[in-house]
A and B are shown apart, each in its own frame.
Chain A
Amino acid sequence: MHLSSLDGHRPRILAINNDPAVLDLFRDLLEGEGYQVATHPYVDHDLTEIKTLDPALIVLDYMWATEDGSWSLLQMLRMDPGTAQIPIILCTGAVHEVEALGSHLLEMGITVVLKPFKIDQLLSAIQERLGTEQAVRQRSTDG
């Protein structure tokens, strides 16, 4: 796993994908927006590193249903207590599968951004999810 910054004051985003060009894009893009960025090549399903990293948000980009491994990773991330609460933005071109699952994904804290997307769409989704999570944590602290 590559961690591009150790600054503890900026939200840390973990980008997971098996394509180096996509990971490079996410790193360049999100660092320029002021986020800490870690990238994961998605070669195994050991969640230890992800838990240690404790990202504020995960951007998961993969080819739905044609890579069994990526699907099981998504399930593991949601079922493991150490990662279940981390918001996930799923970048995928699998329009039909997303439609078939209806609102299930959103109910599980998974926001879908369909590929190809305009970068503003992705950034808005990230800002929205991070803002929501911050508000939830604040309410939890206040309450």
Chain B
Amino acid sequence: MDEVHPGPPAPPHRTAEQLAWAQHLHGLRTPLTVALGRVYLMRRRLRRGDDLAQIDVELETLETALMRLAEAITRLDADRTDF
């Protein structure tokens, strides 16, 4: 890879409704990704026999991510317009 690329093509145009939906999905996927990652890290710590205090920190971060996920679901429910 020696050449400079012209840059990625522009993303497809999206309507305001599609953008709003994408934001909702982003609000769901991001904390879910963080939660999955924290579970992975917690498992790694358990296998290594890490201190319980460190695992407790992981649990706290996991809880925060799950709370964000719950808030995103609440927003989604509040914004629904189809019924």
Q: Do A and B bind? A: yes
Which label, helix, strand, loop or mixed, suits the secondary structure of the B interface? helix
Q: Is residue B7 within 8 Å, beta carbon to beta carbon, of the partner chain?
A: yes
User: How many interface residues does chain A have, given as a range?
Assistant: 35 or more
Q: Are A116 and B26 in contact (CB under 8 A)?
A: no
Q: Are B11 and A100 in contact (CB under 8 A)?
A: yes
| 9 more CB-based (< 8 A) A-B contacts, given A74-B7, A119-B40 | A22-B30, A64-B22, A65-B14, A65-B22, A75-B8, A84-B3, A94-B22, A97-B12, A110-B8
**What are 20 contact pairs spanning A and B, CB under 8 A?**
A21-B65, A22-B33, A22-B34, A64-B22, A65-B12, A66-B22, A74-B7, A75-B7, A78-B8, A79-B5, A84-B4, A91-B33, A101-B8, A101-B9, A109-B1, A109-B5, A115-B32, A116-B29, A116-B33, A119-B37
Of A76, A84, A100, A115, the residue contacting B33 (CB under 8 A) is A115
